[in-house]
Each structure stands twice: as structure tokens, then as C-alpha cells.
Amino acid sequence: MIFKQWNVGTYDEVAAKSLAEKLKISELSAIALCARGIGNAEKAKEFLRCELDGLYDPLLLDDMDKAIERIRLAIKNNEKITIFGDYDVDGVTSTVVLVDFLQNEGANVGYYIPDRLNEGYGLNTAALTMLAENGTKLIITVDCGITAVDETEFARSCGMEVIVCDHHMCRGELPNAVAVIDAHREGSKYPFAELAGVGAVFKLVCALAGPARRAEMIEKYLYLAAMGTIADVMQMTDENRVIVFHGLRRLAVSKNPGLRALLRSAGADNKPVTAQTVGFVIAPRINALGRLGNAMGAVELFLTESNAVAERRAAELYEHNRERQATDGVVYSEAMTEMETQYNPDKQNVAVLAHEGWHHGVMGIVASRICERLYRPTILVSVDGEYAKGSGRSVPGVNLFDALESCTDVLERFGGHELAAGLTLRTDRIDEFRDRLNAAVEKQLCGRDLSPSIDVDAVIDAKLATYENVYGLYVLEPHGTGNTKPIFAIENATIINIQSISDGHHIKFTLRCGGRDLGCVMFGQPITEFPFANGAGVDVAATLDLNTFRDETSVQLLVKDVRPCRAEREKTGHEIDAWKKFQNGGEPIGAIIPGREQLALVWNWVKSRATDDYVEIDPRLTYLQISDQQGRLNAGQTAASLAIFTELALLTRRGNFYRVAGNHRVELNHSAVYRRLNGIAQ
């Protein structure tokens, strides 16, 4: 477990109570709104309002009129139209919406999703050549195309015209297309720039259908627009809130054979359909097909009217998802090994890890996992001969797209956005790219440190965690980027009844505070890595939910982080500050000098956990776990012990991750850190 910085919001208690009374909402909902700067009753009312009239006029998008005119002409002349999509959920749902609409309009329409492994993302000349030979006259890109300047020119040379319908960031020059629909266009008058790719396509079909058929388009396609918006982790504000709020309600009752088959295969057919259902049940299965195979089958899943075809396709998605999970594990293990020679946490803010033959379909997922663990932007690069392809993920505070733009001359191509990107470069330029990218990120940071943090909306009294208050939080849904589920902190509580659940993958415990006992669950937290013991004084940051078990419903905290209470944090802070001063040349103080007993405690603990793989160690928390097991130890002594063992080559360190590098006998006096701490001359 790693120590996180808590960014705790504040609110005016009187204002929150007033807002709750005026809007007839729960006090917790009012607290969350006030903490997020939406304490004004009118602003809060507007934010909570998710009516369909919040959908903007599609004709406000640049070039929408040109797109309508050209598509209608193609339908009239029976020209062959090909929808060129992408292989993720956003691309698949975008393709399904537009193909289904145009088929119903009598268009001669087909679709094409590039093979991720053989073609990569977006338009490519081989596919365009094939489409031209097959008679395509009009290509409509969905969820791609905004940077395809050269490819659009190639399509024109093949006798095809192109309409771009995308939502990714524009890079200066736009493609020379009949129409370029993208709310990110410079000077765009569209009120909301954060539509998903399928959101932009939904706007296109609404414009083509006209105002009189708007309600029909909403009933037919809004659930698909919601799926793509959630899966692409778009901002859950403004128009996207309307799309997802109403789309989820239609998704729950949709009779689409493919959707129903997919939910059945995941065991979720008779359960409530939420944003979490889309994000963690539906999306991974659709994405798995595009990652390991070809996403054309996912499009067919949602277009088919045959239950038999739907069941077969859903089964394929299930199997591909299992295969994808296994492949993830292999690439992740290899990437962690590559860190030893390709990433220096003391000198680099970006981990660029290269390896031959990594599966392109899972690099983004693995990059995300490593990025989350390191809390550093991470790019995985798969080498294949002369060229290499990469996929990267970033953390808040580092704009990956901007950083890549500063490396344009090193890259063959790239695209993406602030937190995720893909790229291609020559293999012999990987080292140069690593250096350039780190320099670009260093410039962005301007000396700021990258450290994991958690945003807490507000500190609350445990007495507010009532059934009525927690139930009332549902008014703030749907949640997502820009409107995350509120996280509340309860301070100076006591942990009791710690238990391991789900074969050791998660824990549950009881939080006792102010005479109340609250049930808590912490997912992804093995009990073996939980530093707190029964009776520990802690602060807890958690979302609040209702849990029904054996027909009884109670408040449950879904814990996001636990930290020692204030007194323990202040003591630990002094010790870590003393260690940092020592590292910078200051004199040692007793609180950071480990004796042989403390050194043995730390070594035995690390050796029991970090022999074959890296283990995450943060002295500000780990000392509690070591002390609880075998004796007294403080954070400063733990940090010093780790530094000594690393200097003696007993441990390999990568940021907060350590692995046993050797078990040979050593002389402690051979460590300069040990000698300085103990006043021993060279």
C-alpha cells in the first residue's frame, strides 16, 4: 500500500443545509455539490437537470450541413458508402449507429474496421485501395480520421470522397474532406467539445433524420451512444450527462439481440444496468475482440436480428476476453522486468519500456496498470523489425498528447489525447524518443513532483452516513470523469474486525466512529499488504453505497484509501523529513538510525515478499505492518534500511518498488549511508 496525498475539499455547512432544503435533496448530496462549487441553488438545479432538451442542435457542428448534403446525394444515387470505424467500444458503437441508420434509409452501405494487429488505428492506404476496388464512392470515418491528412488525399486519388466524423484532438491541418465534423475544431461554435465518437455520430444521424424524427433517433440509438461515451471515459458533464442518463434507461430495456446475449454471457442479464455494468462488464468484452482479433464481429453482434448469431458472437467475445486477460499477464510481467534497465525513477518522469513482439492489443491496458502503480506516464513499445508501435497512458498533471507533439520529428505518427495515446516510430530512435519525451514532461512539470493523490469532496461526521442520506446521493448520477462519485472522509475512527475476502484479493472491516459501526469493503487490497491492525486509529476516504444482504439493506463504505490518524501522520512526517534532510547532506538524528534489530526486521519482511517480483513499499505506511508483526520500527528507520540494502545491492529499486537482488553476506560498513548514519569514518 502506498501513502497518498489527500486533496480535501471544504464546504459551508449552513449553505449545504440551505441547498438541501431548497432543492429537497439529501444533506450528503448538498455537501458534495457545495464542495464542488455548485452551492448556488440555480446552478445546482441546472446541474442536476438531465432533460432531453439539454441535447444541443447538431447543426451547430461545423460542416454538418455539408455532410448531410453529400450523404443524401449518395443515397439518392445509390453510391456505395463505407463506414470506416475503430476497434474499441466507441468505434464499434459509432459504426453500428451509422450503418443501421443508413440501411434503414435505403443506402447502399457497408462497414470496415481495421485489424488492430495488421493495420493499426485509422485510415490506411491498403484498406483504402481495397475499398476503392470494391466500388466505394464515399467513406465516412467514425471515431477516427481527424489526423488522416495524407490518407484522405490518397482516398481522393482513388476516386473516393471522405467525410470525417471524429472527436479526437485536431493537429493543425485538417483533412481535405467533404466535411470534417469534430467539436474540437478551432473556432467551433458547438457548446460542448467533449462528445465521444459515438456522440458525434449520434448528432450526425439526428441531423440527417431531421427534427421531426428526433424522438425516434433517441429511442433507437441513445443507448449505444451511452455505451460508447462511458467506455471511452468521456467527461460526464453537460450533454454527455444527458446522453448517459437517458441512454442507460433505454439500455436496460433494449431488445437488441446482441446486447441481451452479451449480458447473458456475462451473467448480468437480470441485474440493474449501470455505468459500472458498461465499464466493467460490457466494454472489456467488446474491446477484447478488437485487441486480439477483428472488431467486425462486434459490429455484427449489435446489427444482427438473429438470436443464434448473437449468442455465437457473444460467446466469441467471452473467450477473447479470457485470452486477453492471460496475454495481459505475460506482457505485464515482461514490462516490469524491462523496468530494471529502461527506467530510472530518480532521473525519469516517464517510463518508456520497449520489448520485441509485445501484443499490440494489450499494450494500452498494461501501460495503464503500470502507470497506476508507478504514478508516472508509461509507454509500452513493441519492436517489430525496423519499426515499433507504442501505446501510452498518463496521470493527471501530464498532458501526454502535448508531450508527444514536442517529439513529432522523432515519431512517424501519433494520436490520442491528454491521458492516452498511440504512436509509431523507428526502432533505432527509441532511446532518443525516451530522452526527448522525458525532457518534454520535465518542462511541463516545472519542478513539481508527481505523487499519487486522491480527491476527497469533504470530511463528514459519521452520523450523516444514514440510509436516507446515502440513497439520496443517486440524484448526482450518472458518474464519470468530471462528475465522479463523491468521496467522503471520516476522520479519527478505529478499525476493527479486519477480514480477508474473495480468496485474499480484497478485505472488509468495521469502522467505529462516534458510537457508530460502519461496514467497509476495500477492493484490490490484499490483507497481506494492509498495514493497519485491529484497533488502529485511522482516517478513511470512501464512497457511500447501500448493500442488501439477506433482505436487509445497510450503509456500506467502499474504501478508496486509509491513512493513519493525524497524530501518527505528524510523527511519521517528522521522521521522513529528517530522512530527506539527511539525504541532502544534513546530520542524522536518532529517529532515522536503524539498529541491527530494525535492519533485520526490514530485511526479513522484504525478503519474504519480494524475492521473485517487485513489492511496493512506502516507508510512511509499511513500517506499521512490519512493526505489527515483529516489533517496533518507525518510518525513518525503514527508509534508511531500504537505502542501505539498495546501496549494498541486496535490493533493486524502481521508484516505490523493490525486489531482492541478492542474498549474499555483506558488511554493513561497506554502505556509505550506514557509515554516515552511525558516524563511522571511511
Asked whether residue 84 carries a pLDDT value surpassing 90, the answer given is yes
Cross-strand pairs, 496: 510
Give pLDDT, residue 449.
Answer: 81
Given a cut of 80, whether residue 628 has pLDDT beyond it is no
pLDDT-based confidence at residue 634 (cuts at 50, 70, 90): very high
Mean pLDDT of 361-370: 91
High-pLDDT (> 70) share of the chain, %: 99
How many other C-beta atoms are found inside a 10 Å radius of the C-beta of residue 304?
17
Angle, helices 27-35 vs 13-23, to 10°: value is 120
Residue reference for cell 507533439? 405
For residue 345, pLDDT over 90 is answered with no
Going by C-beta distance under 8 Å and a sequence separation of 6 or more, which residues neighbour residue 98?
Answer: 83, 140, 142, 165, 201, 204, 205
The overall average pLDDT reported for the chain is: 93
In the chain, % of residues over pLDDT 90? 77
- Residue 223 burial (CB < 10 Å; 0-12/13-18/19+)? buried
* Mean pLDDT on 564-580: 94
Average pLDDT of the residues in 441-450: 88
pLDDT digits (tens, 9 = 90+) for 135-191: 999 999 999 999 999 999 999 999 999 999 999 988 789 999 999 999 999 999 999
Confidence check: pLDDT of 630 > 80 = no
β-sheet bridge partners, residue 142: 165
The phi and psi torsions of 8 (rounded to 5 degrees) equal -100, 125
In tens, the pLDDT along 25-55 reads 999 999 999 999 999 999 999 999 899 999 9
The x, y and z cell numbers of residue 288, run together, are 477484447
- Separation CA 243–CA 222 (nearest Å): 6
Q: Residue 525 has which C-alpha cell?
A: 487490497
Query: Facing residues of 556 across strands?
Result: 519, 545
Please identify which residue in the block is written with the cell numbers 467505529. Answer: 512
Q: What is the reported pLDDT for 116?
A: 80
Residue 324 pLDDT level (bands cut at 50, 70, 90): confident
Backbone Cα Rg of the chain: 27
User: In the prediction, which pLDDT does 605 show?
Assistant: 92
Band of residue 631 on the pLDDT scale cut at 50, 70, 90: low
Q: Number of helices and strands (H, E) in the chain?
A: 24, 21
256 has a pLDDT exceeding 80? yes
Q: Write the pLDDT tens digit of every residue in 499-512.
A: 999 888 899 999 99
Mean pLDDT of 435-457: 91
Q: Which residues contact 602 (CB under 8 A, 6 or more apart)?
A: 594, 626, 633, 637, 638, 641, 642, 645
Grid cell listed for 70 = 453529400
The dihedral sign for the CA sequence 440, 446, 447, 451: negative
Given a contact cutoff of 8 angstroms between Cβ atoms, the answer to whether 210 and 164 are in contact is: no
Report the pLDDT value the prediction gives residue 37, as an integer from 0 to 100.
Answer: 95
40 Cβ neighbours under 8 A, 6+ residues apart:
none
What pLDDT does 656 receive?
A: 85
Task: Give the count of beta carbons closer than 10 Å to the beta carbon of residue 303.
Answer: 18
The reported pLDDT for the residue numbered 682 is 62
Give the integer Cα–Cα distance in Å for 83 and 98: 8
pLDDT band at residue 318 under the 50/70/90 scheme: confident
What does the pLDDT average to over 626-636?
81
Q: How many CA atoms lie within 13 A of 493 on its CB side?
A: 28
pLDDT at 426 over 90: yes
